[in-house]
């Protein structure tokens, strides 16, 4: 039995978790900073770092207490070290290094993007990931910081086959909510507001899908772009609202149509990639994967031969269980890091994945 402590501070959640043998989640503590960032309509990196600093020791202690374990019973400490906001990442990374040194624990640096994918398997077990029939596995990772399609082959070869050329899908939702004065984070409030509107009321652009009859360049077939839909919303508000402000039915229809445009693009690109790469399974993960319309739309459109693994909602938004779970695969391979482990803001080129 291997107990791994996971630490996550890449954005605006301070999180710690204890996971046994890759999928038995003993504790999963998340301290959110939403209230602190809400007045700014987005995450302020330095503020995030300060908040992580004041929360991290309590969050780690709570994760240990809830699991009923002491640090002496932990086999390794894992931490998100990329990608993310640098000042925020550094807090978790340095805390993990301190624990590693003081308690002589192996240190495991984890890729947050890969951890989101792993979150889909935490509750259902890792045997699916060892089964060759699960591959090729395509993962749609949709969060505030990323929107990408990662393809994993049975031999472990991994490739980011699509990514956003500008804003992430979650960012497009957060920025729209800010523009419409709906609050932060945008995803949940947009989903709720959209329920009262008609998603076909307005036609917002679906960039790089060929929806307007314009041919999509082959290199952008699986890439995303959400800056156009955001700009279109800005002009829509100027043209329709009084002094740019929308309310009532107009607001509801606008929000529903805007959400629909983003979900439509995500679904079209993903289903095209599923067919093109002959995927045997599809993972949906990241904060935007909490959205019910997106979850059910993909399920409805996905061919019945393709296995569907939407991450449980509690593992969609940032958490440390996905970090500690994935770290078990590094532990098994004795892939440990030394104290030179660095924090990196960008997603590196991914060619392999820990769980294969
Ligand atoms: O994965 P996450 O917690 O953080 C990053 O790694 O970025 O994702 C946060 C993003 C935010 O943009 C938030 O607006 C979005 O997830 N989100 C949602 C929903 N809940 C959170 N987007 C759409 N619908 C939701 N219900
Ligand atoms: Zn995330």
Would you say residue 81 has pLDDT above 80?
A: yes
Tell me the percentage of the chain whose pLDDT exceeds 70. 100
Tell me the best of 142, 170, 226 to mutate to test the pocket of ligand 1, counting ligand atoms within 8 Å of each CB and taking the most: 170
DSSP state of 40: G
pLDDT, average across residues 49-54: 98
Q: Are 10 and 318 in contact (CB under 8 A)?
A: yes
User: What is the distance, to the nearest Å, from the Cα of residue 104 to the centroid of all Cα atoms in its chain?
Assistant: 31
The CB of 197 under 6 Å from ligand 1? The reply is no
Interatomic CA distance for residues 13 and 168, integer angstroms:
18
Locate the ligand 1 atom nearest the alpha carbon of residue 177 and give its number: 14
Q: Which of 293, 295, 292 is nearest to 308 (CA)?
A: 295
Q: Are 226 and 171 in contact (CB under 8 A)?
A: yes
The CB of 148 under 6 Å from ligand 1? The reply is no
Q: Are 153 and 319 in contact (CB under 8 A)?
A: no
Locate the ligand 1 atom nearest the alpha carbon of residue 185 and give its number: 14
Average pLDDT over all residues of the chain: 97
pLDDT in tens, 130-180: 999 999 999 999 999 999 999 999 999 999 999 999 999 999 999 999 999
Paired with 13 in beta bridges are 32
The CB of 287 under 6 Å from ligand 1? The reply is yes
Would you say residue 106 has pLDDT above 80?
A: yes
pLDDT interval class at 212 (50, 70, 90): confident
The CB of 318 under 6 Å from ligand 1? The reply is yes
Q: Are 10 and 84 in contact (CB under 8 A)?
A: yes
- For residue 130, count other CB atoms closer than 10 A to its CB: 10
Locate the ligand 1 atom nearest the alpha carbon of residue 259 and give its number: 23
pLDDT, average across residues 20-33: 97
pLDDT interval class at 352 (50, 70, 90): very high
The CB of 12 under 6 Å from ligand 1? The reply is no
Would you say residue 93 has pLDDT above 90?
A: yes
Interatomic CA distance for residues 51 and 299, integer angstroms:
38
Paired with 20 in beta bridges are 3, 24
Neighbours of ion ligand 2 (CB under 5 A): 143, 318
pLDDT interval class at 27 (50, 70, 90): very high
Would you say residue 244 has pLDDT above 80?
A: no
Distance 202 CA to ligand 2 centre (A): 30
Tokens 């729209």, residue?
176
pLDDT, average across residues 14-39: 96
Total residue count of the chain as it appears in this document: 356
pLDDT in tens, 295-325: 999 999 999 999 999 999 999 999 999 999 9
Distance 215 CA to ligand 2 centre (A): 32
At residue 213, the pLDDT reads: 86
At residue 164, the pLDDT reads: 98
Interatomic CA distance for residues 353 and 340, integer angstroms:
22
Q: Which two tokens stand for residue 69?
A: 């374990």
Name the closest ligand to CA 316. Answer: 1
At residue 237, the pLDDT reads: 96
Closest C-alpha residue for ligand 1 atom 23: 187
The CB of 11 under 6 Å from ligand 1? The reply is yes
Locate the ligand 1 atom nearest the alpha carbon of residue 145 and give its number: 7
Interatomic CA distance for residues 30 and 76, integer angstroms:
20
At residue 202, the pLDDT reads: 98
pLDDT interval class at 243 (50, 70, 90): confident
């Amino acid at each position: 039995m291997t107990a791994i402590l996971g630490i996550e501070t890449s954005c605006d959640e301070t999180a710690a978790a204890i996971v046994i043998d890759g999928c038995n989640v003993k504790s999963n503590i998340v301290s959110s900073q939403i209230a602190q960032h809400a007045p700014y309509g987005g995450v302020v990196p330095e503020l995030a770092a300060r908040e992580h600093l004041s929360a991290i020791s309590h969050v780690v202690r709570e994760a240990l207490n809830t699991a009923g374990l002491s640090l002496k019973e932990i086999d390794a400490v894992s931490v998100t070290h990329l990608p993310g906001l640098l000042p925020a990442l550094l807090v978790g990374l340095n805390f993990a290094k301190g624990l590693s040194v003081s308690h002589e624990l192996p240190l495991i640096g984890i890729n947050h993007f890969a951890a989101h994918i792993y979150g889909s398997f935490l509750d259902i077990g890792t045997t699916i990931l060892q089964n060759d029939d699960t591959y090729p596995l395509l993962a749609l990772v949709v969060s505030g910081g990323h929107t990408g399609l990662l393809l994993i082959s049975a031999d472990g070869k991994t490739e980011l086959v699509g990514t956003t050329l500008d804003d992430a899908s979650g960012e497009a939702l957060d920025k729209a909510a800010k523009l419409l004065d709906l609050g932060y984070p945008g995803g949940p409030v947009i989903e709720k507001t959209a329920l009262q509107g008609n998603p076909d009321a307005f036609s917002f652009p679906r960039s790089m899908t060929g929806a307007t009859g314009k041919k999509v360049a082959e290199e952008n077939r699986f890439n995303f772009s959400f800056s156009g839909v955001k700009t279109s919303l800005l002009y829509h508000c100027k043209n329709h609202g009084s002094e740019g402000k929308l309310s009532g039915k107009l607001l509801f229809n606008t929000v529903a149509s805007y959400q629909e445009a983003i979900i439509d693009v995500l679904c079209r690109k993903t289903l095209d990639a599923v067919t093109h790469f002959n995927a045997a399974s599809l993972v949906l993960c990241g904060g935007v994967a909490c959205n019910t319309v997106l979850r059910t739309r993909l399920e409805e459109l996905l061919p019945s031969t393709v296995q569907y693994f939407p991450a449980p909602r509690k593992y969609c938004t940032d958490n440390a269980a996905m970090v500690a779970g994935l770290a078990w695969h590094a532990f098994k391979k004795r892939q440990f890091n030394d104290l030179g482990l660095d924090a990196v803001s960008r997603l590196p080129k991914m060619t392999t994945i820990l769980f294969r």
